[in-house]
Structure 1
Amino acid sequence: MLTYKPDQTIAHRLDPRSKLAVQLGFAATALAHTSHRALLALSLVCAFVLFVARVPLFETLYAYRFALVVLATAPLIAAVTLGPPWFDASDGLASARASYRVLLILLVSTAYVRSTPVRHSRAAIQRTVPGKPGQVLGIGVALVFRFLPVLQGDLRTIRDAMAARLGTERNALERLTTIGLLGLTRMFERADRLSLALRARCFAWNPTLPMLSFSRLDVPVVIGAVALALTAFL
């Protein structure tokens, strides 16, 4: 499960605003460039980010397995045509490059999630985006980071319970329907409990958030983020 993991890596010691800047810069240049040389350079940058944050690659790919299926299927669908020649390899390759860029962006975002506490992410957003919009965005990000792993755990529990009761003997449509309905029911129950818990704790729009400060480690990171963003215009 992709959640924050305490550690002493360089990525963990960086200010979350620096890491957000790297993500934005990387995404901008990844979406702007489609050449093979650009993809190779982006792959090296992504590998360096994963290494610095000590992100386990195979565990991450397994966590993204459903997204990987979609990314792998997209080039095949893009290459199929309704008439002769029935299969256009150039369209498939263009879609494959796009899918690979999306995968790189996902991997870089994983490094941020693994190295940044949820409260620090909220503080970074609220202190970057002023006013109520920043507060709403910070709250939304914090709730997603905390709520999504719980929902994933519920779906895993439902799936394991079905397997223990020979649910795997049912057809695929019936299994998907059962898991989907039970998952939605559990999601609404979790949402109701979350709402009650927020009211019981006198939920505040502007709580005391952790102090954030840039250090010497953040200087080259911010410079690299700006350089990545500028390469989108080359």
Structure 2
Amino acid sequence: MLSYHPGDSFAHRLDPRTKLLAQAAFAVAAFAHTTPRGLAVLTVVTGAFLAAGRLSPWRALVGYLPALPFLVAGPLVSIVEVRAWTVGIDPAAAVGPVLASYRVLLILFVSAVYLHTTPVRDSRAAIQRLVPGRAGRLLGVGVALVFRFLPLLRADLGRIRDASAARLGRERPLRERMQIVASAGLRRAFDRADQLALALRARCFAWNPTLPALRFARRDVVGLFVAVALVSAVLL
């Protein structure tokens, strides 16, 4: 699971607000230029993002492994044609879905760089400064909780599957195995939620915590330039 890893890369030293703006600009550019030429250019830009964060493409791909079947399923489903009780295959129909899936994959790679190089507290501070008022504080808390506890829930599911396999769970029908993992995973998620609520009350949870100070530096000019260039590519 992708999460923050301390480091000294160029992306690690950028202000989180700069990274958020660059990530949003990349997503806008990707949706505006979903063509072979546009995606080829964006692939080079994605490589620059990965290099700035010292994150290997393979590690980013493994981190988003659960999403890959959906990206592959779209083009496969699109080539099937049903006409008057007959089923045919039209490979040309997969061009658009393939480009769309590759576009999403590039956006996921760029977001992986952000997750890899940005602490959760910095993400919360950046969101609360970009979105003013109580809405920003609520959004910041939500993002922080998701970043912290989604890896825990995924690890819980992995342990549940391993425990089921150790008890000859693989001998059971697939439907029964899915039911066991899902029910145990939900119980564990509710337990996590109860523990979280208790921990928040014990620590006198407040809407206005002391967050890390964020400051733009000279190196952020590079990130802002990339964001402006991507937005300009969309407008022009």
Equivalent residue, structure 2, for 1:10: 10
Equivalent residue, structure 1, for 2:206: 204
1:36 aligns with 2:41: no
1:164 aligns with 2:166: yes
Equivalent residue, structure 2, for 1:104: 106
TM-fit CA distance, 1:171: 2.1
Equivalent residue, structure 2, for 1:119: 121
Q: What SS does structure 2 have at the residue aligned with 1:140? A: helix
Deviations along 1:87-127, whole A, 9 cap, x unmatched?
23232110010000001001100000000000000000001
The residue identity in structure 1 corresponding to 2:104 is V
The residue identity in structure 1 corresponding to 2:226 is G
Q: Distance in 2 between matches of 1:112 and 1:21?
A: 11
Equivalent residue, structure 2, for 1:24: 24
Unaligned runs of 5+ in 2: none
Q: How does 1:37-116 map to 2 (within 5 A)?
A: 37-83=37-83, 86-116=88-118
Equivalent residue, structure 2, for 1:136: 138
1:184 aligns with 2:193: no
TM-fit CA distance, 1:60: 2.2
Identity of aligned residues (%): 53
Q: What SS does structure 2 have at the residue aligned with 1:98? A: helix
Equivalent residue, structure 1, for 2:151: 149
Q: What SS does structure 2 have at the residue aligned with 1:222? A: helix
Q: Distance in 2 between matches of 1:185 and 1:45?
A: 42
Q: Distance in 2 between matches of 1:143 and 1:27?
A: 24
Q: Distance in 2 between matches of 1:172 and 1:85?
A: 28
Q: Distance in 2 between matches of 1:162 and 1:141?
A: 32
TM-fit CA distance, 1:160: 1.0
- Given that residues 15 and 218 in structure 1 are in contact (C-alpha distance below 8 angstroms), is that contact kept between their aligned partners in structure 2? yes
Deviations along 1:174-210, whole A, 9 cap, x unmatched?
1111111111110011011101110111101010000
Of 213, 216, 219 in structure 2, the residue corresponding to residue 217 of structure 1 is: 219
Q: What SS does structure 2 have at the residue aligned with 1:163? A: helix
TM-fit CA distance, 1:167: 1.1
The residue identity in structure 2 corresponding to 1:7 is G
The residue identity in structure 2 corresponding to 1:9 is S
The residue identity in structure 1 corresponding to 2:170 is T
- Given that residues 24 and 229 in structure 1 are in contact (C-alpha distance below 8 angstroms), is that contact kept between their aligned partners in structure 2? no
The residue identity in structure 1 corresponding to 2:149 is F
Q: Distance in 1 between matches of 2:120 and 2:199?
A: 18
Q: TM-score w.r.t. structure 1 length?
A: 0.96
Q: Distance in 2 between matches of 1:161 and 1:58?
A: 28
Deviates more, 1:157-166 or 1:15-24: 157-166
Q: Distance in 2 between matches of 1:141 and 1:108?
A: 17
Q: Distance in 1 between matches of 2:224 and 2:151?
A: 30
- Given that residues 46 and 107 in structure 1 are in contact (C-alpha distance below 8 angstroms), is that contact kept between their aligned partners in structure 2? yes
TM-fit CA distance, 1:129: 0.6
**How large is the RMSD of aligned CA atoms in angstroms?**
1.2
Q: Which runs of 4+ in 1 moved over 6 A?
A: none
Q: Distance in 2 between matches of 1:222 and 1:25?
A: 10
Q: TM-score w.r.t. structure 2 length?
A: 0.96
Q: Distance in 2 between matches of 1:50 and 1:119?
A: 22
TM-fit CA distance, 1:85: 7.5
